[in-house]
Amino acid sequence: MKKILITGANGLLGQKLVQKLMGKEDLHLIATGVGASRLPASWSSGYTWESMDITDPDIVNSIVGEYQPDCIIHTAAMTQVDDCENQKEACWKANVDAVANMISVCEQHDIHLVHLSTDFIFDGENGPYDEKAIPRPVNYYGEAKLEAERLINKSKCRWAIARTVLVYGLAADMSRSNIILWVKKSLESGKQINVVTDQWRTPTLAEDLADGCILIFEHGAEGIFNISGEDFLTPYDMAMQTATYFGLDHSLINKADSSNFSQPAQRPLKTGFIIEKAKSQLGYNPKSFMDGIGILSKQLKLADS
């Protein structure tokens, strides 16, 4: 029986991974996070829960040593970009030191490490990027995530890095919104919103990202893979498509550019990913952004019923 351990299982991607993996035969799923599980109670028979602080090497060594999984999918991270800029020590601890803990235990037990990274390791001058593009981060979050990649690259364990972009989706007990939910809620309440036209991304449905991580595991793949959506869009484009899908008032959406917003961390303007490697080597096939909105809409209806 194969064993997979997921870090950050309470988060959006973590929840999607648990949901997709818990029904698989001949697979023991170990879901971990800080504190108690916030996963739906109806799922509880499909996995083993362990409280694990990824920044504590003794706890990581103890729990991973007990289960000795074939693969760790490491989704846990500090991802709020402005918080990372303002709390550099906490960012480094969660996004670099914790990865060093994962590397150490994976080397010790010959575990395949699948690590989540980000488009924010790039400066946004020449997006969309392929896997061979040269990273050059413009904020501290990007610097920390790039350093984690460097540590993994130098490690002796079997590893894969799944880089992704602007993940959106719906999960249980969500503490954060996403652009679709924000636009929908704002327009339904008749609120004018300002949305930037000078940033470009390839937004990623959380279910697609989970599929990409699982494909990496199933193929035993190693190296760097871009796992994102394929549509190259500005946030303004995303807002307009959201309004179209839900039949909301487009005139409430105002064009803006990044200079209109004051944020602690600089954002790269033009990132997004070229995903040909994942498509050809893994069989990865993401949804369009409009299809992603449709999936989110169905999930909202189910949550409300």
CATH number of the structural domain spanning residue 278: 3.40.50.720
Tokens 């991973």 sit at which residue?
A: 64
In angstroms, the CA 247 to CA 266 distance is 33
CA 34 to chain centre: 18
Torsion of CA 15, 132, 269, 188, to 10 degrees: -30
DSSP-assigned beta bridge partners for residue 270 = 200
Asked whether residue 266 is domain-assigned, the answer is: no
Torsion of CA 23, 24, 29, 34, to 10 degrees: -40
DSSP-assigned beta bridge partners for residue 163 = 117, 226
Asked whether residue 248 is domain-assigned, the answer is: no
Asked whether residue 304 is domain-assigned, the answer is: no
Asked whether residue 254 is domain-assigned, the answer is: no
In angstroms, the CA 18 to CA 177 distance is 20
Phi, psi of 224, deg, nearest 5: -100, 135
The terminus-to-terminus CA distance of the chain in angstroms comes to 37
Asked whether residue 295 is domain-assigned, the answer is: no
In angstroms, the CA 206 to CA 287 distance is 10
Name residues whose C-beta falls within 8 Å of residue 237's C-beta, 6 or more positions apart in sequence: none
Strand intervals (E) in the chain:
2-7, 27-33, 48-51, 71-74, 112-118, 159-164, 167-168, 193-196, 204-205, 223-226, 253-256
DSSP H helices in 189-234: 206-219
pLDDT of 175:
63
Asked whether residue 185 is domain-assigned, the answer is: no
In angstroms, the CA 202 to CA 279 distance is 15
In angstroms, the CA 6 to CA 139 distance is 27
pLDDT of 174:
66
Q: Are strands 223-226 and 112-118 parallel, antiparallel or unpaired?
A: unpaired
Q: Tell me how many domains the chain contains.
A: 1
In angstroms, the CA 305 to CA 41 distance is 17
SS3 291: helix
Question: Residue 89 sits in which domain range?
Answer: 2-169+203-230+272-287
* Total Cβ atoms within 10 A of residue 126: 12
Rounded average pLDDT per 10-residue block, the chain, 305 residues: 97 97 93 95 93 98 98 98 98 98 98 98 98 98 98 98 97 80 96 97 98 98 98 98 98 94 94 98 98 96 82
Asked whether residue 132 is domain-assigned, the answer is: yes
Asked whether residue 14 is domain-assigned, the answer is: yes
